[in-house]
Amino acid sequence: MKSYRLLLFALAALLLSACNMTLAADVTPPPNYASPTPPPTLGALYPSNAPNVQNGEKIYAEKCAACHGETGLGDGAQSKDLPVPVAPFGLPEFAQKASLAEWYAVVTQGRIERFMPPFASLDAQERWDVVSYVSTLHTDAAEIELGKKLFDENCADCASAFADLQTMSALSENDLVAIARSGKGNLPAFGKNLSDEEARAAAAYVRTLIFAPPSAPAADSTPEPSASPNQPSADETVATVKGRVVNKTGEALPANLRVTLRVFEHGVNAAGDISELPQSTASVNADGEYAFNVALVADRIYLAEVEADGVSYQTNFVSAVAGDAEITLSDLVVYSVTSDLSGLKIDSVAVHFDYADADNLSVFVVYLLKNAGEKTIRVKLDGANQEIPFLKAPNDAKLLGYQQTQDGAALVGTKEQDGFFIPPSEETYGLIVFSNLPRSDKMEFSQRFLLPVGNGQIFLPKGVSAKGEQIADNGLIPLQDSSGKNLEYQTYSFGALSADSTLTFSLKGKPSAKSATADWTQNQGMIFGAGALGLALIGVGVFMYLRDRKQTADEDEDDESARFADDESVMDAIIALDDLHRHKKIADDVYKKRRAELTDLLKKNGA
C-alpha cells in the first residue's frame, strides 16, 4: 500500500510538470542554455513530398497539444507550467503572418528562449506534415469551401501555379492575400474584386493546394468507442475505458465537448520512473458518456480530464488489472465558476513550531479547506508576492511561501498562472503556510483566520509550553523524525472559530533537546504531510530551499555532481529556480549566484 501511495504522489508531480515531460527524447533546455552540440541543421526549406496533413494531426496530438492546446490557442493542459506564454497559432492574426518554412525552422531548431525544444525525434517529412496541419488550425471547413468556390470562379486554369512546394512554403497567408490582389512573378492576381473576407478565404484554400490528398476512410473506420493511440500489439488485448461527464453548471455544455484520456506507465527503468503515453480524445454524447478503446497492459494507470469554463477537471487514477475488459473511471463533474469565497471553510488547522534556528521561530500552519458548495471557486493570488488572499501568516511573521499537502483533493491551476481553482469536493484541500518569527524564550503568538474554522491543534517540542484562554492542554505525544527516532511533542487543541477571528496564546520555554525537531513530512497521518502544488502556483519547496540555503552553499563539487546526475536534472533545477525568482521568492543576489553554479555544472556535464 505504501509503495502504491508513493507511485501516485510521483504521478501527481508528473502531471504538474512542464511540457518536456511529454516529449520523451525532446528535452526542453532552460533559458540561456548553450548546447554542447550544434543545433539540428535545417536542410531545404521546403518539403520533398506533399505534406500529409492527416499524419501531421496525429503528430500534433502526440507532441504538441499538451502545451499548444487541441485547437492551437496556447492553452494546453501543461502550458500553465511554463514561465512564458505558448504560441497561439490557432489565432488567425497569429497564423496569417507565418510561412510554413518559418514554422519548420522552429520545429527543427527549437526556440530555447521560449522553452520550445528541437524535435530531433521527427524526420524532415514529419516536421513538414505537422507544421502544415498547424497552418489549418485557424480556419474551418466553411472558410475553405468558400475559398475553393472563389478560386475556381476566378482562377480555374491557374491552380498549377500555386502547387510548387518551394514557392508556397516560403509564403505566408498575408503574402497570398497580397498576391491575390496584385500578383507576383508567375503567380497571377485572381482576386482584385474580392472583399477582405473573401480574399482571406481564397488564401486559406490556396495554401491547401500543396497538401497531399486525404486518404479515403475505410467503411467502418469510425470507432465507437474512440480508438486510442495506444493500439494493441499482437500479444496485447483490448479494454474499454469509459466514464461520464456530469453537468452541474446549470447551463448546457458545449456541443463539441471532448474528453482527454491520459495513460501512464511506471517502472520504465531501474529507477521506477513514470512516463506518459500519447494522449487521445473522445466526444461526449448527449448523455454525458464517453469511451476509449485501449491496449490493456497490467498496471498502466488511466485518468480522464475535461475542460469547462477554463477549469480542467480530472477523474481518479485507475490501475489496469490483467484480464480487465472494461475500466470505469469516476465521474467528471463540471461546475460553474465563482470568485465568491463564502462557500469555503476551514475544517481544521494544525499549527507547528520548529525551534531548529537559533534566531528564528519557524511556523508551519496546515489548513484543511472544504468547498461544500455547488460552484468551483476561483482564487486569484494577491500582489507581487502572489499571496493567497484568505490565508494569512501569523501577526508580525515573515511569510516564506506555501505548499499543498499530499493527501486530499488537488487544486487546479489557472491558465493565466495568477491563481487556482477549488472545485466542490467531499475531500478537503490541504495547504501549508510557512513563515518565520523572531525567536525568544517568551513570546506572544497571534494568528488571524479570515474563514470560519472547525477546530485545530498546536504542536510544540517538549520543553516549550503554551498558555491561552482559547486552547486546551492535550499532553505529550510521540512524533518521528527523519531518522526514525521518536520525539515527544506537547500538544494543545482549540475549538471552532468564526470568520475573521484571531487565535492568541503565549509561548514559554526552550526545547528539551537540541535535536527535538521532527520531520513533518514523515508524519502524514498526524499532520497531513507536505506535498507539491507545482510551479504554476507559487513554486515547489520554497521553504525548504530558504531553510537549507546555508547548507547548500557549503556543499562541495562532488556532492553537487552526485545530486544532478544528468543534464535533465540540472535543467529542471534551473527552471524551478527561475520560477521562484519570478515569483520574488528568492533574492536577486542568491538567485544569480545559484543560477551561475547550475549553469557551470551544465557546461561541465556537456564537456
In the chain, domain spans: 2-134, 141-210, 226-336, 341-537, 548-606
Bridge-based pairing of strands 258-266 and 274-276 is antiparallel
Domains 2-134 and 141-210 share a fold: yes
The three cell numbers of residue 70 are 487541441
Q: How far apart are CA 233 and CA 236, in angstroms?
A: 5
DSSP 349: E
Cell matching residue 494: 482549540
Determine contact, residues 246/332, Cβ cutoff 8 Å. yes
Domain 226-336 has CATH 3.20.20.70: no
**To which residue does cell 513538414 refer?**
128
Instruction: Tell me how far apart the alpha carbons of residues 511 and 219 are, in angstroms, rounded to a whole number.
Output: 77
Spatial CB neighbours of 43, under 8 Å, sequence gap ≥ 6: 108, 124
Do residues 524 and 2 lie in contact, with contact meaning Cβ atoms separated by under 8 Å?
A: no
The confidence band for 232, taking pLDDT boundaries of 50, 70 and 90, is low
Instruction: Note the CATH architecture for domain 141-210.
Output: Orthogonal Bundle (1.10)
Give 406's strand partners.
Answer: none
Block residue for cell numbers 482549540: 494
* pLDDT of 304 strictly over 50: yes
Find cell 496546515 and name the residue.
366
- Asked whether the predicted pLDDT for residue 306 surpasses 90, the reply is yes
Q: How many C-beta atoms lie closer than 10 Å to residue 234's C-beta?
A: 4
**Closest by alpha carbon to 125, among 214, 53, 213?**
53
- The better pLDDT of the pair 43, 171 is held by 171
Which secondary-structure segment (H or E) carries 133?
A: helix 124-134
Sequence-separated (6 or more) residues with CB below 8 Å from residue 607: 36
CA–CA distance, 578 with 575 (Å, rounded to integer): 5
Return phi, psi of residue 165, to 5°. Answer: -65, -40
Confidence check: pLDDT of 8 > 60: no
Per DSSP, the three-state class of 585 is: coil
Q: What number is the average pLDDT over the span 501-519?
A: 77
Is 349 in contact with 405 (CB distance < 8 Å)?
no
Band (241; pLDDT cuts 50, 70, 90): very high
Contact 456, 503 (CB under 8 A): yes
Please name the CATH architecture into which domain 2-134 falls: Orthogonal Bundle (1.10)
Q: What is the DSSP string of 251-274?
A: SPPPTT-EEEEEEEEE-SSTT--E
pLDDT tens digits, one per residue of 535-592 = 222 222 222 233 333 333 344 444 455 545 555 566 666 766 666 666 555 566 666 7
The answer to whether residues 292 and 242 touch, using CB atoms and an 8 Å cutoff, is yes
DSSP state of 298: T
d(CA 423, CA 337): 9
The grid cell for 128 is: 513538414
C-alpha separations of 230 from 8, 71, 212, 292, 335 in Å: 21, 22, 26, 10, 31
Residue in 402, 405, 429 with CA at minimum distance from that of residue 347: 429
Residues linked to residue 303 through DSSP beta bridges, in sequence order: 262
172-190: burial string, b at 16+ Cβ within 10 Å, e else: bbebbbbbbeeeeeebbeb
- The separation between the first and the last C-alpha atoms of the chain, rounded to the nearest angstrom, is 43
pLDDT winner (highest mean) among 227-236, 358-367, 481-490: 358-367
What is the arithmetic mean of pLDDT over 370-379? 93
pTM of this prediction exceeds 0.95: no
Arithmetic mean of pLDDT over the chain: 77
CA-based max dimension of the chain: 94
Among residues of the chain, what percentage have pLDDT more than 70?
71
